Amino acid sequence: MVKTPAGQLLDLEHKPGTVLEEILMADVLEPFETREGTAVPAMRAPRPHLVIDPHLLGGYPVIAGSRVPFDLVAGLADEGTKPAEIVQMFPSVSKRAIPDAREFARQVARVAA
């Protein structure tokens, strides 16, 4: 038996996989600290202009208000693409989101290393 966030009890033996993914994802998306002491932010909104929504791109981090992956924006900026050019390519991306995307990409790289 598993208790859902809404308080419903689910018998997973007879209904395997029923909303368990959602329950586990809720735990995974909370902030935590790695064994080495690195702080990992809350993943639903890891930065002010980034969001993670399980219904957008399968939960991949995107620029808030868009479907544009954070790492695409960060990569373009890191390669020297000017913010105005990024916004021209992706009108749903605000210039203010670009530093957030770059900072989050660096943090992800550090944690993954």
Summarised one tens digit per residue, pLDDT across range 17-60 is: 555 555 556 666 677 777 778 777 777 778 999 998 888 888 89
pTM of the model: 0.69
CB 63 within 8 A of CB 50: yes
Residue 72, SS3?
helix
In the chain, list all ranges with CATH 1.10.10.10: 34-112
Q: Which residues pair with 40 in a beta bridge?
A: 32
Supply φ then ψ for residue 63, to 5 degrees.
Answer: -70, 130
Question: CB atoms < 10 A from the CB of 10, how many?
Answer: 15
In CATH, which of 3.90.550.10, 2.30.29.30, 1.10.4030.10, 1.10.10.10 is domain 34-112?
1.10.10.10
Summarised one tens digit per residue, pLDDT across range 64-84 is: 999 999 999 999 999 999 999
Residue 69 CA to residue 67 CA, distance in Å, equals 6
